[in-house]
A and B are shown apart, each in its own frame.
Chain A
Amino acid sequence: MNVPEMDWSPLWLTMQLAGVTVIVLLLVGTPIAWWLAFTRSRFRTLVEAVVALPIVLPPTVLGFYLLTALGPHGLIGGAWKDLTGSALSFTFTGLVIASTLYSLPFVVQPLHGAFEAVGKKPLEAAWSLGASKLDAFFTVASPMAVRGYLSAVVLGFAHTLGEFGVVLMVGGNIPGVTKVLSIAIYDHVEVLEYTQAHFLSAVLLIFSFLVLTIVYAVNRCLPIHVS
């Protein structure tokens, strides 16, 4: 079988999207996970439910709401347009926002669990040793929660790689801008280019398998076992 003429840009775009999304997710998800792990606020359950919503919601529903919100007349899109001159729907930035919301539970939940496992006790010890709250977070809580971070990064990345419905609704199918791997595969199949579809699918399959294998191997070797 000859290697067909392939457009690899969807693959590159997908990696970019997943990478940026994971970084944003860590910045947004860590404080939420921390708050959920340690708060005694009565709003905790509510926030937990909101964070978990993307797991149960059909991606098209989430995508539809996001399209409305990010569009030129939407609440966020409109404001963004006033600020920058263009809306957020059908742009890469729009995709990042959508992916962040879509993959939020996959980052927040492992971190939440990890922070809860670390608990208050080592933090109190660190504070009593003169560490500020932020210092203790970086030098005690985070290293002890390293497995949680690893799971969060992998799940967040992998989940973003595989998204389809939300991207289609919010990003459409613009080559080089919003046409990610899953949509490219769908396109190929629609016009019966099975060879190309096979190639892209195989790349995604092998990549996902490799990443998960490495993660599980690393996880096994990590020195910290927080019970």
Chain B
Amino acid sequence: MNRLDARFSIDYPGFRFDVACAVPLEETTAVFGSSGSGKTTLLRCIAGLTRVPSGFLQFDQAVWQDDAQGIFLPVEQRRVGMVFQEARLFPHLTVTQNLKYGMKRSNPSLRRIDFAHVSELLELESLFERRVSHLSGGEQQRVAIGRALLTSPQLLLMDEPLASLDQQRKKEILPFIQRLNRELRIPVLYVSHDLQEILPLANHVVLLKEGKVAATGPIQEVFSRLDLPGLVESNMVGAILETRIVEHEPQFGLTRVEFLGQSLFLPQQALPPGAPLRVQILSRDVSLVVGDPPATSSVLNTLEATIVEVRKSPGDQYAVEVKLDVGCPLLAMITRKSFYQLRLRPGQKVHASFKAVALS
């Protein structure tokens, strides 16, 4: 597994950028934060496109920047793939020439990504003969992703690659990006301010606020922390569960998935049995039952849970947020009235019932 160790600080007028983080680059790491939090600056520093005067950056054993020793590896020598918010294709070249621009410049002995494979993965064949200016936004971005991948990068940096696309195009591209790491095994650093892009994609999160790292860790943990009010709309994310599809029940329109040995039901999915599926639970969809769960209930999903932490909801004075452990963190948002009636306290065993939603 790759590791990235980054320390950058610089004073801009009215904005201090001061980031220090050590991230294991396992599959996809999201850099998440509102606009102006310094996400793009961090990514550009890592790429070597922006040079802050005192910085340190190490990728695995290789030091890419260490101003204490006067080391700065120029961007073209870092072997990072970069996908920008706009596709930035070269208008004077064809789609194929664009795709091969970086590949031709890569060291043949380090090439491990095949032109045919990338073309197939991103469904690019039909675009080869087209003029760049005649591609749609989504097609352009697919070519840009392919072009970056074909350099066989050690690290793929994506700077809000979907931000300039409409909702429909986003849905088209997202599955391509999800397939990237599964099939090509390149660590991805993915910058976004959109939770709905990050939840299906990321394993790790670096949360930025006002130029500083507010939290970093596995996505399930970061988004279930109660001490980050206002940073994440925490009432949105209750839990992110990694499940596996067991079977479909077409007569009920349901799919049964397995999570830590227990069964959960979701609206029917298109994936085959055995396929991994990331499932999201919204905290307002969770209800808590003290004692035995009722034998008959219309709610299909119930997990045993232990209360970890309780606090008042920062957004809603009549709501209480309860952090539970169901084998992974789960947040529940309940009313203040229920909280007092159930006499909830940390350490207590309860049952959590919820509706589960598949992520993309």
Which residues of A line the B interface, CB within 8 A? 121-122, 124-133, 135, 139-140, 143-144, 146, 223-226
Contact partners of A132 in chain B: CB under 8 A: 76
The reply to whether A124 and B49 contact each other, CB–CB distance below 8 Å, is yes
B106 touches A140 (CB 8 A): no
Task: From known contacts A121-B84, A135-B105, infer whether A128 and B90 are also in contact, taking CB-CB under 8 Å.
Answer: no
Residues of A contacting B92 in the complex (Cβ-Cβ under 8 angstroms): 143-144, 146, 223-224
Interface SS of A by simple majority:
helix
What are 19 A-B interface contacts by the 8 Å CB criterion? A121-B84, A122-B90, A124-B82, A124-B84, A124-B88, A126-B90, A128-B80, A128-B82, A128-B148, A129-B101, A129-B105, A129-B151, A130-B79, A133-B76, A135-B105, A140-B90, A223-B91, A223-B92, A225-B133
A residues in contact with B90, CB < 8 Å: 122, 125-126, 140, 144
Interface centre among A124, A125, A127, A224 (most CB of B within 10 A): A125
Minimal Cβ-Cβ distance residue in A for B86: A121
Which residue of chain B has its CB nearest to the CB of A136?
B76
Contact (Cβ within 8 A) A127 B74: yes
| Nearest chain B CB to A212 CB, angstrom units | 24
Chain A residues contacting B84 (CB-CB under 8 Å) are 121, 124-125
A133 to B102, CA, bound (A): 14
Q: Which residues of A contact B106 (CB under 8 A)?
A: 130
Which residues on A sit within 8 Å (CB–CB) of B76? 127-133
Do residues B105 and A131 form an inter-chain contact, with CB atoms below 8 A? yes
A130-B147 Cα distance, complex, nearest whole Å: 11
> What is the distance, in angstroms, from B89's C-beta to the closest C-beta of chain A?
8
CB distance from A222 to the nearest CB of B (A): 9
> In this assembly, does B81 line the interface, its C-beta being within 8 Å of a C-beta of chain A?
yes
Q: A126-B90, A131-B76 are in contact. List 8 more A-B contacts (CB 8 A).
A: A125-B90, A128-B75, A128-B76, A129-B105, A129-B151, A131-B101, A135-B105, A224-B92
Cα distance A206–B92 when bound, in Å? 33
Q: Which 3 pairs show the lowest CB-CB distances between chains A and B?
A: A129-B102, A128-B82, A130-B105
Residues of B within 8 A of A126 (CB): 90, 101
Contact A121 B105 (CB under 8 A): no
Contacts A121-B86, A135-B105 known; A128 to B47 CB distance under 8 Å? yes
- Please name all residues of chain B whose beta carbon is closer than 8 Å to the beta carbon of A224 when the two chains form the complex: 91-92
Residues on the A chain within 8 Å of B47, using CB: 128
Most chain A beta-carbon neighbours within 10 Å: one of B80, B90, B106, B147: B90
* Bound form: Cα–Cα A226–B101 in Å: 20
Complex CA–CA separation, A122 to B93 (angstroms): 12
A121–B144 alpha-carbon span in the complex (Å): 13
Within 8 A of A (CB), among B38-79: 47, 49, 74-76, 79
CB distance from A146 to the nearest CB of B (A): 8
Flag if A129 contacts B49 (CB, 8 Å).
Answer: no
Which chain A residue lies CB-closest to B50? A124
CB distance from B220 to the nearest CB of A (A): 32
Give complex CA distance A143, B49 in Å.
22
